[in-house]
Structure 1
Amino acid sequence: MTTIPDKMKGVYLTGFGGFEKLAYHTDIPVPTPKKGEVLIKIGAAAVNNTDINTRIGWYSKNVESGTNKGGSTGFKDVNQDGSWLGQALEFPRIQGADGAGTIVAVGDGVDQKRVGQRVMVRSVQARPSTKKGIECITFGSECDGSFAEYATALDSETFAINSDLSDQELATFPCSYGTANNLVWRVGVKANDTVFITGASGGVGSALVQLAKVRGAKVIGVVDPGQEDRVLGYGADEVLHRGDDFVEKLGEMSVDVVLDMVAGESWPQLLKLLKKGGKYGVCGAIGGPIVKFDVRDAYLKDLSLFGTTYQSTESFEELIKYIEDGKIKPVVAKEFELSDIVAAQKAFLSKKYIGKIVLNVAHE
């Protein structure tokens, strides 16, 4: 039987701002699972754009630049809307949208047989929809997440997985791959589509490449110089460089689908690449959220535009099946100790790594 301590190691986010807002502690109370919840001993976590964005308040409508411009110091004019839901964030908060581990205890109403299961937590979690439409929260934003030795999560949002992969490898999947598979699922990527993927060397980008290939698509990925071989190695059929003139390289109306998490200055080219009746899907804007949009590019070509944050249960279950069947592979770029979270986030912001930055938690 696993002995559960009273205190744990973890990282508190103490407010919006720079790296100084990340506080490593060794005496955080271990949470107790409430009714309908499980307690997970976290083996490993991973760093994502959403962790950076939440720390610096990038979701505030006052912020118009890309993530990296405020990644180290934060932004000056962040309102209380600097969270996924546009509501005031509660501090201190244990972040961490990505994590993998083992259930060690359950709350009332949860089957005791779940104790001992290896699990991943769905990063973007469903809540009852309102008159405004789909409602959801993000693990590590509206509730405490995986940047600690233990975390609680809803039983319904905690998915068992049967895999020989390590916790470090499994920790790369929930946020990036969950986001990516939901985007591919929602856009409807199919066999023989030509799919153009921005940011193809990052966590979500590398996931999108693999998931589009699983569906039989041809993939063109955008990378930084020096990243070509790795991106081609996990499935891309062709690569272009960030800063290239995409229309000049590929020609107008040359792709069926664009999957984007960058936006920024190159965005107007993306709609020009799409064929008539093409599909544009977006799940991020790390290059900057404010773009020049000629509406005629959309309506004169009968384009469909998709935005996604919410992760459907069906797409997340499909992702788990892909992992268990070995159809997709984790891309671990570098590992850090949880206490070195600032160094891990600096490495993430450098954009020099292909794949995910992982935090070792269990042996801290």
Structure 2
Amino acid sequence: MDTPETMRAVRIAGHGGPEVLERAEVAVPAPQAGEVLVRVAAVALNNTDLWTREGAYGRPDDPKALSGWRGPIGFPRIQGADVAGRVVAVGPDVDGGLAGRRVVVDPAIYDTEGPDANPVGLMGSERDGGYAEYVTAPAARVHDVTDSPLTDDQLATLPTAYGTALGMIERGRLREGETVLVSGASGGVGIALIQIARARGARVLAISSGSKTDAVREAGAHEVLDRARDIAGQLRAAAPDGIDVALDVVAGELVGDGLPLLREGGRWVVAGALGGYDVAFDVRRLYLHNAQVIGSAMHTPTHFALLMDLARRGEIQPVVAAAYPLDRAAEAQEELARRAHVGKIVLRP
């Protein structure tokens, strides 16, 4: 299959607001040894796109430092972690049978080759991503989903949001019959958490705002708590015996308010800080009740393989809130930042 020499892309040349997203005509990358070239059908937006662009991650030695996901970014950088598309070329040492296959790319850059490796980098941050017509990826990170009933837009929503959700659920050891609290329930990760937790047989309590309540309930939440009211009071009423697992992308005051509501041996899993990264809680509620606070960044290769099995069988139904053409990436990011939508926003190169 012939590929052009150049392609349209949207990239950032430095940290800043939506204005730093620039359209560019760049060379189509050549797949190196062990890599494939994917023609991008859809790329989903994530909060990490906003925070990487803004440099909002801080560094261990300086929480306020401008930084990418795991350190300084190499500019210019093409953003976009979540890619669905087709393999159009393979590099040396790659099975030629992958050519023409419909795929989803695991965007994580791992610390080792093992099945339980930790992500230490991300496509669109530590290497160029999918805000472009083509992107390269390691062949080992490309998953064949040719037979999935999901659309390209739906497949593109999976890697970061559903990967993060599955990582949280696995690390939190959520079991059938347990009661789970989901914060930020109307966002991409929140909807994914509800769907996967519900499929596992958990009772799902979700925190959202009034206008999004119906959509969150439709995603599978058993009860929806209004984030504008007393969360702890609503939680006590909905789960008088406490909750087993909290799946939290908000953090902030919610951790201190909610930790006393965990049952014995409960787990509080944090994968975001939409409500603030500076957290205070009564440590006695932790050690006296054998509770655990667990940090969860994305997924492992094992988690991602489980997710792709769900996608092939169509056992999850991602919600696509809106789709934009590639050249309106800045507008799409602004819509994402407003948080008025339910589900995921995608770009179509």
Class of the TM-score when normalised by the shorter of the 2 chains: over 0.9
Match of 1:186 among 166, 171, 179: 171
Give the structure 2 partner of residue 71 of structure 1.
none
In the alignment, what sits opposite 1:200?
185
2:53 matched residue in structure 1: 55
1:223-278 per-residue CA deviation (whole Å, 9 max, x = no partner) reads 11111111111110000111322221122751111000011233311212211210
- Give, in whole Å, the separation in 2 of the partners of 1:49 and 1:98: 12
1:155 aligns with 2:139: yes
TM-score by length of 2: 0.94
Q: Deviations over 1:166-215 (max 9, x none)?
A: 21111111110011111111111110110000001000000000010111
Q: Return 5+ residue gaps in structure 1 as ranges.
A: 65-76
Partner of 1:119: helix, strand, or coil?
A: strand
Q: Indicate conservation of the 8 Å contact 1:247/1:272, yes or no.
A: no
Q: Alignment RMSD, CA only?
A: 1.8
Structure-1-length-normalised TM-score = 0.90
Contact 1:125 1:157 in 2 (8 A): no
Deviation (angstroms), 1:301: 1.4
8 Å CA contact 2:324–2:346 kept in 1: the answer is yes
In 2: Cα distance, 1:338 partner to 1:254 partner: 45
Q: Structure 2: where are the runs of 5+ without partners?
A: none
**Matching residue within 74, 80, 83 for 1:96:** 80
Deviation at 1:128, TM superposition (A): 2.2
Give the partner amino acid of 1:289. Answer: Y
Aligned to 1:123: 107
Q: Which residue of 1 aligns with 2:16?
A: 17
**Aligned pair 1:306/2:305, yes or no?**
no
Per-residue CA deviation, residues 87-138 of structure 1 (Å, 9 max, x unaligned), is: 2210000010111000000100000110011111112232328xxx945211
Identity %: 40
Structure 1 letter corresponding to 2:81: A
Deviation at 1:294, TM superposition (A): 2.1
- 3-state SS, counterpart of residue 306 of structure 1: strand
Structure 2 counterpart of 1:172: 157
Deviation, 1:63, is: 8.2
User: 3-state DSSP class of the match of 1:125?
Assistant: strand
Number of residue pairs matched? 342
User: Cα offset for 1:310?
Assistant: 4.5
Contact residue 149 and residue 313 of structure 2 kept, 8 A:
no
1:32 to 18, 30, 33: 30
Return the alpha-carbon distance in structure 2 between the equivalents of residues 35 and 222 of structure 1. Answer: 46
Give the AA of the match of 1:256. D
Q: Distance in 1 between matches of 2:112 and 2:312?
A: 29
1:42 aligned residue: 40
1:140 aligned onto 2:124: yes
How big is the shift at 1:165? 2.1
